[in-house]
Amino acid sequence: MAMWNPFRGCKKCSDGCKYCYIHKGDAKKNIDTSEIVKTKDFNKPIEKLKNGEFKMKSGLVYLCFSTDFLIEEADAWRNECWEMIKTRQDCTFLFLTKRIDRFMKCIPEDWEDGYDNVVVCCTIENGKNADYKLSIFKDLPIKHKCITAQPLIEDIHIEKYLEGIELVVVGGESDPNARELNYDWVLNIRRQCIEKNVNFEFRQCGTYTIKDGKKYKIQTKDLTRQAKLANIDYKSQK
Q: Residue 54 has what DSSP assignment? A: B
CB atoms within 10 A of CB 223: 21
Question: Is residue 31 involved in binding ligand SF4 (CB under 6 A)?
Answer: no
Distance CA 204, CA 224 (A): 4
Which residues inside 97-126 make contact with ligand SF4, applying CB under 6 A? Answer: 98
User: Of the candidates 22, 60, 230, 232, which one interacts with ligand SF4 according to CB under 6 A?
Assistant: 22
Closest approach of ligand SF4 to the CB of residue 108, in Å: 22
Q: Is 68 in the site for ligand SF4 (CB under 6 A)?
A: yes
Residues 81 and 132: their CA atoms lie apart, in Å, by 27
Query: Is there a contact between 181 and 214 (Cβ–Cβ < 8 Å)?
Result: no
Judged by CB under 6 A, does residue 12 bind ligand SF4? yes
Report in angstroms how near the CB of residue 150 gets to ligand SF4 at its nearest: 10
Among 5, 6, 7, 10, binds ligand SF4 (CB under 6 A): 10
Q: How far apart are CB 213 and ligand SF4 at their closest, in Å?
A: 30
Inter-residue contact 24 to 47 (CB < 8 Å): no
Which stretches of 99-222 are DSSP H helices? Answer: 103-106, 127-137, 183-195
Residues that bind ligand SF4 (CB under 6 A): 10, 12-14, 17, 20, 22, 68, 98
